[in-house]
Amino acid sequence: MVAASMMLITNGKIITWGEPAQVLDGQAILVSNGVIQEIGPQPDMARSHPETDRLDAKGGYIMPGNICAHTHFYGAFARGLAIPGPAPKDFPEILQKLWWPLDKSLTLEDVHASAQVMLVDAIRNGTTTLFDHHASPNAIEGSLDVIGEAVAKSGLRAVLCYEVTDRDGMDRAKAGIAENQRFIRRVEQENPAGGRLRAAFGLHASLTLSNGTLQACRDAVGEGVGFHIHVAEHEADEYDSLAKSGTRVVDRLERAGILGEKTIVAHAVHIDAREASLLERSATWVTHQPRSNMNNGVGVASVESLLRLGVRVGIGTDGFSHTMWEEWKTAYLLHKVWNRDPRRFSGYDVIQTGVYNNAALANAYFNGLNLGSLTPGAAADLIIVDYHPHTPLTESNLPWHILFGFNESMITTTIVNGEILMRERVLTTMDEEAIAAHARELALKVWERYQTFVP
Ligand SMILES: [Zn+2]
């Protein structure tokens, strides 16, 4: 880790986010002990801190690192994997033919390697805090420590959980519960990775959880712990819940005590109005993953309606590359074509979900760090973007500059907690080539095992 205890970031334009967002010109940022100490006019700052190390932003934009509200590091080995037989015709078949045999193929070594690959991707693409949802049914115990180790080495922040499910039998459901319980306790007691790790309690989805297992998960942890679960990604989840419990998924989770102000439900594509209202009343978080939803052909979540109702909707990648601006752009375009109305899901909606709500979610877990905004006292989690627009960029048109001008390949520098994780596009904490080479070796064995599990 390149531990810059103190640095002055100069020669950049600062996008603060925060509300209201500001674009500051001619100002410098003083960072020490992982925190933004001061933002002020560059000449004054330079004069009062002559000895401090400089980080030259070279005229680019300095802004908070992006936040990913829902991802799966374990999905790394899916890239380029051949699914045998005819292509899956719907989402339940995608689970059966791709994700479930793939997660069974993972050893702890594979889990570590896939996390490393995804963390390299996150640093490169300026995503500094990630909410991961993990599955490896043949390597459950210790899997969260292994991911945690990779996160610690990378220098990023992450909230980890293990997805409990009944689909591999009761012993593994119990092992999943124990893994969440153990890791939640470990994070509370040991504060590993210098406080850059947090834990949630993972659940796969209503459709693979019995009433008994849901109850056991609820009983396993105290009230203050948040759950992280897929909800109504496909109609199958609702049909299963109606058959199993006589009620819809969100009602079922509410009865089981799973909703709440730290709980995250991913997707919510097929929920109805009452379910939306239950999410709002319980202050449960919803995450939107438009690239994944489009890829799986599952439909489009009613994100604008949820926002109008007061539901806190954020944006995740669901294991796609951690290019958050790509995900924002996809949301921006998808809701327009889906509704055949170019006014839908405006730049403001993009910022509300992708910036403000994701930051609020991150701060619900990383209490007191003030993630997602550049302001004195906030954690120094920031990126530098080599963007030189040919039209004026102001507070009022910033969302559209990002949607039509920004690209993750313009990110030159990624900093978390005041530590430089990428400088001038060179990673400092992770050996990118060695990680990719090791993963390519493991991938062959993962793919071989996958062929033995695929139906
Ligand atoms: Zn997911």
The residue whose two tokens read 């949802």 is: 133
Sign of the CA dihedral with 5 first, then 6, 11, and 12 last: positive
pLDDT at 19: 85
Residue 227 makes CB contacts below 8 A (sequence gap 6+) with 200, 201, 202, 203, 217, 258, 260, 262, 263, 264
Concatenating the DSSP letter of every residue in 398-439 gives HHHHHHHT--GGGEEEEEETTEEEEETTEESSS-HHHHHHHH
Q: What pLDDT tens digit does each residue of the chain (455 aa) get?
A: 445 579 999 999 999 998 899 999 999 999 999 999 999 999 999 999 999 999 999 999 999 999 999 999 999 999 999 999 999 999 999 999 999 999 999 999 999 999 999 999 999 999 999 999 999 999 999 999 999 999 999 999 999 999 999 999 999 999 999 999 999 999 999 988 888 999 999 999 999 999 999 999 999 999 999 999 999 999 999 999 999 999 999 999 999 999 999 999 999 999 999 999 999 999 999 999 999 999 999 999 999 999 999 999 999 999 999 999 999 999 999 999 999 999 999 999 999 999 999 999 999 999 999 999 999 999 999 999 999 999 999 999 999 999 999 999 999 999 999 999 999 999 999 999 999 999 999 999 999 999 999 99
pLDDT at 18: 87
Interval between CA 283 and ligand 1 midpoint (Å): 20
- At residue 412, the 3 state secondary structure works out as strand
- At residue 337, the 3 state secondary structure works out as helix
DSSP secondary structure code for residue 62 in this structure: E
CA–CA dist 398, 146 (Å, integer): 39
Concatenating the DSSP letter of every residue in 393-404 gives --TTTHHHHHHH
Residue 41 makes CB contacts below 8 A (sequence gap 6+) with 26, 27, 28
CA–CA dist 72, 266 (Å, integer): 12
Sign of the CA dihedral with 278 first, then 310, 229, and 195 last: negative
CA–CA dist 406, 400 (Å, integer): 9
Short-list 78, 57, 75, CA closest to 15:
57
The residue whose two tokens read 């930051």 is: 359
Interval between CA 56 and ligand 1 midpoint (Å): 38
Interval between CA 360 and ligand 1 midpoint (Å): 20
Interval between CA 391 and ligand 1 midpoint (Å): 38
Interval between CA 133 and ligand 1 midpoint (Å): 7
Short-list 249, 323, 256, 322, CA closest to 286:
249
Interval between CA 200 and ligand 1 midpoint (Å): 14
Short-list 187, 189, 138, CA closest to 161:
187
pLDDT at 23: 98
Q: Are 224 and 262 in contact (CB under 8 A)?
A: yes
Show the tokens assigned to 185. 């306790």
Short-list 440, 449, 335, CA closest to 80:
440
Interval between CA 70 and ligand 1 midpoint (Å): 6
Interval between CA 131 and ligand 1 midpoint (Å): 10
Interval between CA 410 and ligand 1 midpoint (Å): 27
10 Å CB burial of residue 80 (0-12, 13-18, 19+) is exposed
pLDDT at 4: 55
Interval between CA 64 and ligand 1 midpoint (Å): 24
- What stretch of H or E contains 231? strand 227-231
Number of Cβ within 10 Å of residue 443's Cβ equals 21
How many residues are present in the chain? Answer: 455
User: Measured over all CA atoms, what is the biggest interatomic distance in the chain, rounded to whole angstroms?
Assistant: 70
CA–CA dist 380, 14 (Å, integer): 13
pLDDT at 1: 47
pLDDT at 321: 97
Interval between CA 273 and ligand 1 midpoint (Å): 22
Residue 346 makes CB contacts below 8 A (sequence gap 6+) with 399
Interval between CA 228 and ligand 1 midpoint (Å): 10
CA–CA dist 124, 409 (Å, integer): 8
Interval between CA 35 and ligand 1 midpoint (Å): 32
Interval between CA 241 and ligand 1 midpoint (Å): 19
Short-list 227, 267, 266, 271, CA closest to 251:
271
Interval between CA 3 and ligand 1 midpoint (Å): 34
The residue whose two tokens read 């009944």 is: 166
Interval between CA 318 and ligand 1 midpoint (Å): 5
Helix then strand count (H, E) for the chain reads: 17, 20
Sign of the CA dihedral with 253 first, then 259, 265, and 268 last: positive
